[in-house]
Amino acid sequence: MAILRALAFGYFMKFFVITIFCALQLVACSESRISVDAIKGKTMGTTYSILWAPKLSVSLSGTIQSEIDSLLMSLNSQMSTYDPNSELSLFNSKKAPASQEISTQFSDVINLSLSLSELTGGLFDVTVGPLVNVWGFGPDKTPIKAPTSKKIHEILRNIGSQGISLNQGVLSKTDPRYIDLSAIAKGYAVDAVAELLDQHDINDYLVEIGGEMKAKGVKSPGVSWKIAIETPDLLVRKVHKILPVTDISIATSGDYRNYFELEGRRYSHSINPKTGKPVEHSLASVTILDESCARADALATAMLVMGMDKAKEFSELNDIKAYLIVRDQEGEFIEHLSPAFAGWLSP
């Protein structure tokens, strides 16, 4: 019997490749006089951690956390594939052709998803969920095994963002389609929480949900927020690079946490929607910086699918701040900074 190892906990989860743990450690190691509020909780099948400075009163902090929890519950009720009663699940359950009026935030995510699908030539595709499921990485909890070529070909008939459309808040599908927003929804939630903090006139914060982040302002005068990018090592968790950040969103996608091994072959959770198969190349990690965390989240996913050469070309052509890590034949890691990322670091 083949030995099989699985680390599959959900579609396109980033597994804290940028870790709030490291950020919190960095906060703890800074000057003791720095006063920072820290709250945390659970959402979207993962966790969130939020830091802001300076500290607020206990009652106001509690009020803000309640508002954040309510906001995240609302987003989950719109876009979760794990909740059978969510707007997304109800849409997925309809037989094509079908239409459904959806919430404003859900519409925002679909609009951005369709735009990024076009930008990436279909490599970011929110309809790829059935392929993710059949490979054992989705909410269906399919037994982890390699599907046959015939099965993949059958599923590919129902993959493609061209089968869905959005018009004035009405989501439609002309052909059978199953939408999964896991590669963009957490980033969108980060943006939404950041907007809520802005409304409370909190100008210095670090928001993290499932590994996706947004930083604004500073931790204290002269002291920036710092985040850690993880080394894409299959066996050991360690920090590869520490970045000081402000007024930017950060998202990372990697091939080294969510995978399974079968008969000596490793299968990544990153599925190419064109081939229907897990990617097989040397690009191990993609970190994207962008004003929008939702956009960074989606682009990190798509560029990991592209592979090193195409990701480099894509980042340069579209002025994307990308930090790429390649695994060479000896198992060593080589980093590449896009011109936009290098320019962002320079100041």
Query: How far is it, in rounded angstroms, from Cα 306 to Cα 37?
Result: 39
Q: Using the Cα atoms of residue 43, residue 287, residue 115 and residue 92 in order, give the sign of their dihedral.
A: negative
Across 76-105, b (16+ Cβ under 10 Å) vs e yields bbbbbbebeebbbbebbeeeeeeeeebeeb
- What's the pLDDT at 143? 57
12 pLDDT higher than 60: no
Query: How far is it, in rounded angstroms, from Cα 27 to Cα 275?
Result: 44
8 pLDDT higher than 70: no
- What's the pLDDT at 233? 61
Q: What's the mean per-residue pLDDT of the chain?
A: 85
Domains of the chain: 4-78+184-345 (3.10.520.10), 88-173 (1.10.3980.10)
15 pLDDT higher than 50: no
Section 180-205 average pLDDT: 97
Section 325-346 average pLDDT: 88
Section 319-333 average pLDDT: 87
340 pLDDT higher than 90: yes
Query: How far is it, in rounded angstroms, from Cα 343 to Cα 230?
Result: 22
- The tens digit of pLDDT for each residue in 284-317 reads 899 999 999 999 999 999 999 999 999 999 999 9
Section 68-76 average pLDDT: 97
Q: Note the Cα 205 to chain centre separation in Å.
A: 20
- The share of the chain scoring above pLDDT 70, in percent, equals 82
Q: Which of 146-150, 228-232, 291-295 has the lowest mean pLDDT?
A: 228-232
19 pLDDT higher than 50: no
Q: Which of 11-20, 35-44, 146-155 has the lowest mean pLDDT?
A: 11-20
Section 263-268 average pLDDT: 61
- What's the pLDDT at 328? 79
Confidence band of 132 (pLDDT split at 50, 70, 90): confident
For helices 308-317 and 293-306, angle between their N-to-C axes, nearest 10 degrees: 140
- What's the pLDDT at 142? 56
Supply the pTM of this predicted model: 0.88
- Higher-pLDDT residue of 118 and 231 is 118
Confidence band of 270 (pLDDT split at 50, 70, 90): confident
- What's the pLDDT at 232? 66
Confidence band of 17 (pLDDT split at 50, 70, 90): very low
